[in-house]
Structure 1
Amino acid sequence: MSESRKPHSPLEQLTDRLFATERKPEDFRFDASVARVFPDMIRRSVPGYTTVIPMIEVITEQYAQPGSHCYDLGCSLGASTLAMRHGIRHTDCTLVGVDNSSAMIERCEHYIALDDSPLPVHLRCEDILDTELMDASVTTLNFTLQFVDPGKRAGLLSRIAEATRPGGVLILSEKIRFESDAEQSIQTRLHHEFKRANGYSDLEISQKRTAIEQVLIPETLEAHRSRLLAAGFDQVLVWYQCFNFVSMLALKAGPTDSE
């Protein structure tokens, strides 16, 4: 979301201090307390996030097809939804944002209302595993699949691939793990240094990691690639990586691709 589109409500600009003091260990949840600080949290926690979001707009502009559906699955506060909204050049496209957190959807509605694009956005508060998908040209899973039960990921990706038009695309951004323990150690250390450079203390880093490690289950790049191809996509490529965070494109072959 560009600076010109940010709302000026103090509620939306709170600094993330959720893990700044000692707290009882519990699994991470996308509740109201997280929603209030989420823009600051994700910017300071996910390397490359401020690059990924505007590039979703660029990718959407290239792949959105007339009369199709575009989905942002796990839309949270709508940063990627708005990027897609500004990338869609066809007024007959249907843009749908889905999240199972009512607190996220409530604040997402706030951002959508302040945005200046005339394209309607249909927000749904539901589990993305239950979302009906159809006639899609662009679908985004922006740091969302990693929170889905690993046993249910293949089924979700198969449904997305089946719903995707020829020439359509899935944008999949994820935290990954590495086959090599040595590389995993290096990339994790660099990620923690990124957080420290953004003002997080060792206590905050440690407590957040404990809270999220049973909720966010990362996989290797090869696991993602193999599953996307098995799901029905024809090509998978990495378009962005920063430390242990990547964004991939999974494409369905169009008519000209098979000629």
Structure 2
Amino acid sequence: MSDNDRIYAQPQAQVSDFTFNEAVVRVFPDMIKRSVPGYPTIVENIGVLAAQFARPDSVLYDLGSSLGAVTQALRRHVQAAGCRVIAVDNSAAMVERCHEYLHAQDSMFQELLPATVQEGDILDLDFQPCSVVALNFTLQFIAPEQRLALLTRIHQSLLPGGALILSEKLRFADAGEQQLLTNLHIGFKRANGYSELEIAQKRTALDNVMQPDSLEQHRERLQAAGFSKVVPWFQCLNFASLIALP
């Protein structure tokens, strides 16, 4: 069970940059559900989509796996023989708790895909041939100048018939559209019980560490990385998920 997210409920003299530390890990399920519109739908359907693309005897990657929600969805839905999931995250606190969650999943279900969780930087990952790669709200935390190289390496590792599933917060080139979607997202968080102080301090904490792209930028970069087709399959407010085919 996670705690309720109260990290930004009290005034902070200096709001530090957001990090996935032990305090965030404790409240992460509550935080993400109340902050990201459509998150449960995206996670569950990554498993459903992955079942269409998973090739027998291949690796499925969950990159920036946090507490392993996508890994759990992959294990529930993918039936292809011989597949295994590799979850990677650079937060030691996330990896430790992810191990616990997957162990709990093992005790509730029979015949799940094997899964391993490793602590590491996905920019340094030595990719194995894979049929599904999930980047679920992860690319936006990687320096913009490093994103193309990562996506290119993913493309080179994907087997024919595989897919990259990329979920991201979007920004919009049109200022009016950007303002509208920002206001609607703030309304979503307000409706989920966050105060104006919490919303403002969280935004300050994320300013330097999360840099979203527009849908057009994602499409152009994925094509530059070698992907042949980019198909948006979900959007709720300023959050979207795409399928990129090799």
TM-score normalised according to structure 1 size? 0.92
Q: CA deviation at 1:232?
A: 1.0
Identify which of 199, 224, 246 aligns with 2:240. Answer: 246
In 2, the alpha carbon distance for the partners of 1:215 and 1:139 equals 23
- Correspondences of 1:107-126 after superposition (within 5 Å): 107-115=97-105, 116-117=109-110, 118-126=112-120
Q: Which residue of 2 aligns with 1:63?
A: 53
Instruction: Name the aligned partner's letter for residue 17 of structure 2.
Output: D
In 2, the alpha carbon distance for the partners of 1:74 and 1:185 equals 28
Q: Which residue of 1 aligns with 2:3?
A: 14
In 2, the alpha carbon distance for the partners of 1:232 and 1:67 equals 24
Is residue 64 of structure 2 the alignment partner of residue 74 of structure 1? Answer: yes
In 2, the alpha carbon distance for the partners of 1:29 and 1:193 equals 24
In 2, the alpha carbon distance for the partners of 1:59 and 1:25 equals 38
Identify which of 166, 174, 188 aligns with 2:160. Answer: 166
Q: CA deviation at 1:134?
A: 1.9
Instruction: Name the aligned partner's letter for residue 22 of structure 1.
Output: P
In 2, the alpha carbon distance for the partners of 1:30 and 1:237 equals 30
Q: CA deviation at 1:131?
A: 1.1
In 2, the alpha carbon distance for the partners of 1:88 and 1:71 equals 13
In 2, the alpha carbon distance for the partners of 1:88 and 1:130 equals 27
In 2, the alpha carbon distance for the partners of 1:204 and 1:158 equals 37
Could you say what secondary structure the match of 1:13 adopts? coil
Q: Which residue of 1 aligns with 2:178?
A: 184
Instruction: Name the aligned partner's letter for residue 9 of structure 2.
Output: A
Deviating 4+ runs (over 6 angstroms):
none
Q: Which residue of 1 aligns with 2:91?
A: 101
Q: CA deviation at 1:94?
A: 2.1
Could you say what secondary structure the match of 1:72 adopts? strand
In 2, the alpha carbon distance for the partners of 1:184 and 1:250 equals 24
Asked if structure 1 preserves the Cα contact closer than 8 Å seen for 2:48 and 2:78, the reply is no
TM-score normalised according to structure 2 size? 0.96
Q: CA deviation at 1:60?
A: 1.0
- Unaligned stretches of 5+ residues in structure 1: 1-11, 253-259
In 1, the alpha carbon distance for the partners of 2:225 and 2:127 equals 15
Q: Which residue of 2 aligns with 1:154?
A: 148
Instruction: Name the aligned partner's letter for residue 87 of structure 2.
Output: G
Could you say what secondary structure the match of 1:60 adopts? helix
Is residue 131 of structure 2 the alignment partner of residue 142 of structure 1? Answer: no
In 2, the alpha carbon distance for the partners of 1:131 and 1:112 equals 22
Q: Which residue of 1 aligns with 2:216?
A: 222
Q: Which residue of 2 aligns with 1:210?
A: 204
Instruction: Name the aligned partner's letter for residue 121 of structure 2.
Output: D
Q: CA deviation at 1:122?
A: 1.0
Q: CA deviation at 1:183?
A: 0.2
In 2, the alpha carbon distance for the partners of 1:226 and 1:86 equals 32
Could you say what secondary structure the match of 1:92 adopts? coil
In 1, the alpha carbon distance for the partners of 2:44 and 2:164 equals 16
Could you say what secondary structure the match of 2:190 adopts? helix
**Count of paired positions:** 241
- Correspondences of 1:227-238 after superposition (within 5 Å): 227-238=221-232
In 2, the alpha carbon distance for the partners of 1:69 and 1:13 equals 29
In 1, the alpha carbon distance for the partners of 2:217 and 2:80 equals 34
- Unaligned stretches of 5+ residues in structure 2: none
Asked if structure 1 preserves the Cα contact closer than 8 Å seen for 2:66 and 2:95, the reply is yes
